[in-house]
Chain A
Amino acid sequence: DAGVTQSPTHLIKTRGQQVTLRCSPKSGHDTVSWYQQALGQGPQFIFQYYEEEERQRGNFPDRFSGHQFPNYSSELNVNALLLGDSALYLCASSLIWGRGTEAFFGQGTRLTVV
């Protein structure tokens, strides 16, 4: 049973560029959340997708957008990259969009903006 998979694992981009990160949730999970983790800090919630719709959003600008596909996989897009966007981007899947279900995290994509 495959866990949460993310691609790519590492990425280097230049300021102003756009990036797309991908996530396949754990088998049977239908909810995907994206988190940004800066070095030495806890993960910060970006947004969550369920039934192909953005259900919740954290305090991130519109430069951050996403998508969920019918097979529950998801993409995170970041436009007009800033140096401050350099971080580990984590995808987490869960069983249902509801209360108190544990999140299974992927290994993350390490994004470096230069």
Chain B
Amino acid sequence: GQQVMQIPQYQHVQEGEDFTTYCNSSTTLSNIQWYKQRPGGHPVFLIQLVKSGEVKKQKRLTFQFGEAKKNSSLHITATQTTDVGTYFCAGPKDGGATNKLIFGTGTLLAVQP
């Protein structure tokens, strides 16, 4: 079945260092979404990418969607303690026109002050 994998599973950084998580889907996706889940919290939508090769920025966060629309990345510049949490990518099942999301395995980010 369709799988969405993320690496790394866990990353521990010093505050101020950069962080990147990579997302790979076994199928081509019509779009990819990114969510952040703080410890003990619920997933919160960050962004959606639709176009092949698309790059979007939100302050210190940069999101990319691969040319083949099967992979994506999230890069955080100069991490802060507020960035702590698990970052999930998610794509529609079978890559198509549906709101049924297949979530990636997630990357847990720990930031040491």
Contact = CB atoms under 8 A, between A and B. Distances in A.
Contacts of A24: none
A56 B106 contact: no
Given A105-B42, A106-B42, A99 B98 contact: yes
Interface in B13-36: 30-31, 33, 35
Interface in B47-88: 48, 50, 88
A42 B105 CA distance: 5
B45 A102 contact: yes
A99 B100 contact: no
Contact of B33 (A35, A97, A98, A102): A102
Given A104-B45, A106-B42, A42 B103 contact: yes
A100 B30 contact: yes
Interface stretch (A14-22, A43-51, A67-75, A78-86): A43-51
Interface in A5-46: 31, 33, 35, 41-45
B41 interface: yes
A48 B103 CA distance: 15
A108 interface: yes
A76 interface: no
Interface size class of A (residues with CB under 8 A): 20 to 34
B7 interface: no
A103 B92 contact: no
Contacts of B104: 42
A103 B99 CA distance: 8
Given A33-B100, A42-B106, A48-B99, A99 B43 contact: no
A31 B99 CA distance: 9
Contact of B97 (A41, A92, A99, A102): A99
B109 to A, nearest CB: 14
Interface of A: 31, 33, 35, 41-45, 48, 56, 58, 88, 90, 92, 94, 97-108
* A-B pairs, 8 with minimum CB distance: A42-B103, A99-B97, A100-B31, A102-B45, A105-B42, A56-B100, A105-B43, A43-B103
Interface of B: 30-31, 33, 35, 41-45, 48, 50, 88, 90, 92-93, 96-106
